[in-house]
């Protein structure tokens, strides 16, 4: 009986850790031009479809091998830019839904977990401190490009699919928030931007089998982007992010899942009919210590209304 319980706990741990790392990968998305100014009154809706596929790396001391994830993620979102104290502010909300599977070997035996459901949504609120005055569309078109400095907070409420009686869930059953500071600097047809933020997490007090308490250390995340403006409002960006931290503990027992990873990628934005655009993005793990070493392809459609 003890051996069986240990086996179930180990299986649940690696599947749960795999999904947690996959969820953290969602939090490390590359976002070029996130702090670039835009005119107030701008509304936009978006829909995206992405595929993430690759390995999940664990501590070599853990007898878990060949863990692979194959996830399809669809996302719907909407945003609005508005004036606040004479500066530009923006709110963006997105809701992702995932479908796929995680497979791997535990003690040389193959295991699989199928996934389908809603992931914890995200709401991001940003505010321009310097270089982002509240300008109308006409005023914005006449204003010179300038360096912009802003702050943001991303909030991730525990509204994803979660059942404390299950070993694996798409939702995390805890709140997360990411305070962030970012800068955008134009140089001719180039835009250089970057940001620094930290993910902070509350505890999941209903971790499997419903009575355990799961905690996670903060995750420090840095991003850098260089984008070039092409004809007809198109642009191309080279992206990079580095993040570290995120060790977890269950009832005080620390798991060997410290992350210290680097991802790189590219983004191409192309205008289509009217005020619509298509954004294509690719990213891959450049250096992965622990966690998800995914290749991700993403296509996003956006409609902007001024």
How much of the chain, in percent, has pLDDT values that exceed 90?
Answer: 63
Pick the CATH number of 2-305 from 3.40.50.300, 2.40.128.130, 1.10.760.10, 1.10.10.10: 2.40.128.130
Return the residue matching tokens 């005023």.
139
Q: How far is CA 101 from CA 9, 48, 74, 294, in A?
A: 19, 20, 15, 14
CA distance 269 to 94: 19
Count of alpha carbons within 13 Å of 91, Cβ hemisphere only? 8
- Which is more confidently placed, 214 or 59? 214
- Residue 130's pLDDT band (boundaries 50, 70, 90)? very high
Average pLDDT, the chain: 86
Cα four-point dihedral sign 12, 18, 21, 27: negative
Domain ranges of the chain: 2-305
Q: Helix and strand tally (H, E) in the chain?
A: 2, 17
11-41 confidence digits (pLDDT tens) = 455 555 555 544 454 445 789 999 999 999 9
The answer, yes or no, to whether residue 199 has pLDDT greater than 70, is yes
The answer, yes or no, to whether residue 5 has pLDDT greater than 50, is no
Report the predicted TM-score, pTM, of the whole model to 2 decimal places.
0.88
Residue 119 sits at the vertex; the CA angle it makes with 17 and 223, to the nearest 5 degrees, is 75
């Amino acid at each position: 009986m003890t051996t069986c319980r240990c086996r179930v706990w180990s299986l649940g741990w690696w599947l749960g850790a795999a999904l947690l790392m996959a969820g953290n990968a969602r939090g490390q998305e590359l976002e070029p031009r996130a702090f670039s100014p835009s005119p107030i009154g701008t509304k936009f809706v978006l829909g995206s479809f992405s595929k993430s596929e690759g390995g999940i790396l664990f501590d070599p001391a853990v007898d878990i091998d060949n863990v692979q994830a194959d996830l399809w993620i669809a996302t719907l979102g909407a945003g609005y830019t508005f004036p606040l104290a004479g500066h530009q502010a923006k709110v963006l909300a997105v809701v992702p839904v995932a479908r796929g599977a995680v497979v791997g070997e535990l003690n040389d035996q193959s295991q699989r977990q199928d996934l389908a459901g809603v992931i914890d949504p995200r709401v991001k609120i940003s505010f321009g401190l310097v270089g982002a005055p509240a300008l109308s569309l006409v005023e914005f078109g006449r204003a010179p490009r300038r360096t912009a400095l802003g702050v943001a907070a991303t909030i991730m409420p525990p509204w994803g699919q979660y059942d404390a009686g299950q070993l694996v869930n798409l939702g995390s059953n805890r709140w997360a928030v990411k305070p962030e500071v970012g800068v955008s600097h134009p140089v001719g047809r180039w835009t250089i931007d970057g940001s620094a933020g930290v993910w902070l997490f509350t505890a999941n007090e209903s971790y499997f089998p419903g009575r355990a308490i799961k905690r996670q250390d903060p995750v420090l995340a840095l991003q850098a982007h260089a984008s070039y403006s092409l004809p007809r409002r198109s642009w191309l960006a080279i992206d990079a992010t580095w993040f570290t931290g995120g060790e977890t503990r269950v009832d005080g027992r620390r798991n060997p899942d410290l992350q210290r990873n680097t991802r790189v990628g590219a983004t191409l934005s192309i205008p289509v009919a009217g005020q619509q655009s298509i954004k294509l993005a690719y990213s891959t793990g450049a250096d992965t210590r622990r966690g998800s070493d995914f290749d991700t392809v993403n296509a996003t459609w956006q409609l902007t209304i001024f």
